[in-house]
Chain A
């Protein structure tokens, strides 16, 4: 079953009023596969992610996760279905510390019969945070520090550690290394390699050609809200990809995108 399909979208479309941010996206991700999504600013990459993760409701189309049709009412449902996401905006609460952020929305608790007033198990969350950071080799000076007091790179690391700490069936990272220095970028790339050896499927959005060619198996190019190319890494190169991104080339099967 090595070619089991993790995620499949058909005709996935999102309009914001008159803006056709995403139009008819047919996308497929197989088990253990790492796929990059590339494209210019405003090409619809983040919009695509927001539809899959239940952050927004799609205008049209179908999403299948492990063969099942899914309609997430919100991001929590997507998470519960096993989709872990690093959003481009990071989605961290600035005034909370690292364990709080890692477990935001899925806290470890005691006395659960108290409903919303169930009690936080700070110790368990702290231990799990330390274990998670160790596993991903993320370096953070003090996990009790609030996010506000951290550098851009450290914030990014927290967001990534959050996805890597929890076992997931699909990991999505939207420009995870955009704000990072050389060392931190390497760290994130190592996390991604770890996911690859563990056979966890990944969608990576990145503008970094070198990174994409280092890490993924396949590259999907978005242009003005449409997919315009689907390229195996072994059959393409940087110049070729740039040609698709800029619109100099379009694959025949996506001709309507031109």
Chain B
């Protein structure tokens, strides 16, 4: 079946030997995982033949269990937005542990500029600022929020690019500090009652819309722009990138800043969806986002991975979490298993790296 073609200089090569894209494997994994849950639904006696994704109530309009599908994608969308930024960071060979805390800090700060003056005719009981900050146009909290991400991500990037602090340490510091900011901002009090405009950013299925739009945008950016090419080049071989004249330090600052801004956008969507902001928001989201990326085939060694992979990784993540709820396993087990999934994904990545190294 070997189909040979002629390359440059008339060399024959075997086209069939080219590996198919890793995304295909991940998609197959997604289907397998769904199949396993479906099988468990049939096999476990207490499940009484329920299905994870398909409709078991014999409705006319749909073969899917839409409620559960909706929950799965809604659940992964907000962390998925963070994972889009984390993917880029990991492709450069770095890591970002600060995104969860950036979510917390941004949610608090942005929400305090997006509050409404009157709640049921009474003054807003959770008001942070005076009247001047009430009922501001929605661009104000959004820009303030994105500004938080820009500053936090920018500091990460500057530390990593211009000092020799490893990304793990620099973003660990930001993780602790940003959480501190979140707690200090209103001395631990939750911030609630946003304006209608602010509340509409993340209402209903809007988180999914944002996730899809941003995933599409960054997919195109990584594939078709100089920014994307340099991101992969730096992760592949940082010295080569430098010798080729890429401004490595400047590029890293940009990548970490974008990751910070995506985390802060996720915070805006999340606080809008919940109609409140709390200092504990986004706890360990950074690990979930990293897990999504790694499950999606983004290599922790850098240079490899894609947004498509991360989106599939996010879906796998969502299916597994919902799958455990569907099997009525306790939340404790869910957390334990989540830890196991993260470790398993990293082991898989190591194995893939090893195989790639054997090849070359």
Query: How many angstroms between the C-alpha atoms of A83 and B286 in the bound complex?
Result: 44
**Contacting pair A104 B241 (CB below 8 A):** yes
Number of interface residues of B (CB under 8 A): 38
CB of B45 within 8 A of chain A? no
Interface residues in A, total, Cβ within 8 A: 44
In the complex, A258 has a CB within 8 A of chain B: no
B1-34 vs A: 1/0 string, CB under 8 Å? 0000101111111010010000000000000000
In the assembled complex, which residues on chain A have CB atoms less than 8 Å from the CB atom of B247?
74, 76
B224 within 8 A of A: yes
What total count of A-B pairs have CB within 8 Å? 122
Task: Output the least CB separation between A147 and chain B (Å).
Answer: 8
Q: Is the CB of B303 within 8 A of A93?
A: yes
Give the nearest-CB partner of A187 in chain B.
B9
Bound Cα distance from A99 to B248, whole angstroms: 20
Is A114's beta carbon under 8 Å from chain B?
Answer: yes
Q: Given A105-B244, A107-B226, are A95 and B236 neighbors across the interface (CB < 8 Å)?
A: yes
Cα of A138 to Cα of B8 in the assembled complex, Å = 8
Q: Is the CB of B226 within 8 A of A117?
A: yes
Shortest C-beta distance, A81 to chain B (Å), equals 11
> Does B295 make an interface contact (CB < 8 A)?
no
Q: How close is A3's CB to chain B, nearest CB, in angstroms? A: 31
* Cβ-based interface call for B347 (8 A): no
Q: Are A133 and B9 in contact (CB under 8 A)?
A: yes
Q: Tell me the smallest distance from the CB of B13 to a CB of chain A, in Å.
A: 4
Once the chains are docked, how many angstroms separate the CA of A116 from the CA of B225?
A: 8
Indicate which residue in A55, A120, A134 contacts B229 across the interface (CB closer than 8 Å): A120
Binds B, one of A11-19, A30-38, A84-92, A217-225: A84-92
Residues 236-252 of chain B, each 1 if its beta carbon lies under 8 Å from chain A, else 0: 11011111111100010
A100 within 8 A of B: yes
A75 to B230: give the CA distance in the assembly, Å: 15
A residues in contact with B241, CB < 8 Å: 93, 104-105
Q: CA–CA, A104 to B18, complex, Å?
A: 23
A104 contacts B244, C-beta separation under 8 Å: yes
Q: Which residues in A have their C-beta under 8 angstroms from that of B7?
A: 139-143
A242 within 8 A of B: no
